[in-house]
Amino acid sequence: MKTAVTITQVPTLSKGPWIYRDDIDVSIPKAMAAGFDAVELYPASAEAVEVDRLTRLLEQYQLKVSAIGSGAGKALHGLHLAGQDEALRLKARAFIAGLIDVAAGFRAPVIIGSMQGSSDLGKGVTHDQALEWLREALNELGVRAGTQGVKLILEPLNRYETDSLNCLADGMTMIRSLSTDSVVLLADLFHLNIEEASLPAAIRAAKGYIGYVHLADSNRRPAGLGHIDFQAVFEALKDIGYDGYISVEALPYPDPDLAAAQTISACRALGIVR
């Protein structure tokens, strides 16, 4: 398994669960010094990604892009894939399509979390209708990702953030209904700790579907500062043959540098890094 750390590039979203909030000129060197293999980026839009500068920094500090998050589409622009307004749904697809095109240049996937939307966000939109709109979007965007050799990552979120996909089983049901094979699941341990009866059991049941992991403890602080049994979780990940990224999407508690150090320490104790 490889490690990654989150960097938000949107100052107005700096209170979210991202370890680094400074410009990439500062954050990428810090990620390398802390011992991470890659960075997970949260840009304001595809157009906001400075590809040449990012490429230069990645080469200089020998890091990869593990994934690009699409959350700013909802948080900044009010876009999601399950709203009643067709024009806004199309804008949401275009927003994610742009990120796919940028991410593909770094051989990285795009994450769809909050942009999956919720039936509660559209007046008169039923749960089944919201899921159908989400399915249509995932089929279209999955093809776009697949033709460029990357994946689209679908992230179930806890019940307080969406009523679309809340657990790994929900995500598997959605993926099985798609006509594209370019969509995989993100197992976010913070969200799953809320929704799953057993994290290890849910992970084992999702063998073959999980393509990315978000690492955070039960209180959204770095691993080891809450009550999740990470030894059992990572035994389950090893059992299903998972060898992808373990990306820390946690609050920078008590500060970014100490949060990064705590994460690497926890990963070392789990045998993920040496």
- Reported as a single tens digit per residue, the pLDDT across 220-265 is 999 999 999 999 999 999 999 999 999 999 999 999 999 999 999 9
Q: Residue 150: which CATH number?
A: 3.20.20.150
Give the pLDDT confidence score for residue 222 in this predicted structure.
Answer: 98
- Whole-number average pLDDT of the chain: 96
Higher model confidence: residue 187 or residue 15? 187
70 in a structural domain: yes
The pTM of this model reads: 0.97
User: In terms of residue numbers, what domain contains 125?
Assistant: 2-269
Active site residues: 155, 249
For residue 30, is it within any domain?
yes
DSSP 8-state class, residue 20 = B
Percent of the chain as helix, strand, coil, to the nearest 5: 45, 15, 40
Q: Is 190 inside any structural domain?
A: yes
Reported confidence tier of residue 120, pLDDT bands at 50, 70, 90: confident
The continuous run of DSSP H or E covering 185 comes out as strand 183-188
137-186 pLDDT, tens digit each: 999 999 999 999 999 999 999 999 999 999 999 999 999 999 999 999 99
- pLDDT of residue 38 exceeding 80, the answer is yes
> Given pLDDT bands bounded at 50, 70 and 90, which one contains residue 71?
very high
pLDDT at residue 13 in the model:
79
- 250 near 8, Cβ under 8 Å? no
Per-residue pLDDT at 123: 76
- Residue 15 scores a pLDDT above 80: yes
Residue 88, in any domain of the structure: yes
- Sign of dihedral through CA atoms 108, 114, 117, 119? positive
Q: Give the pLDDT of residue 5.
A: 98
**Within-domain flag for 167:** yes
The residues pairing with 76 across neighbouring beta strands, listed in sequence order, are: none
Coil, strand or helix at 253:
coil
User: Has residue 162 been placed in a domain?
Assistant: yes
Helix (H/G/I), strand (E/B), else coil: 176: helix
Q: Is residue 115 part of a domain?
A: yes
Q: Let me know: does 230 contact 266? Beta carbons within 8 Å.
A: yes
Tally of domains within the chain: 1
Is 274 within the bounds of a domain?
no
Both tokens of residue 255? 């500060």
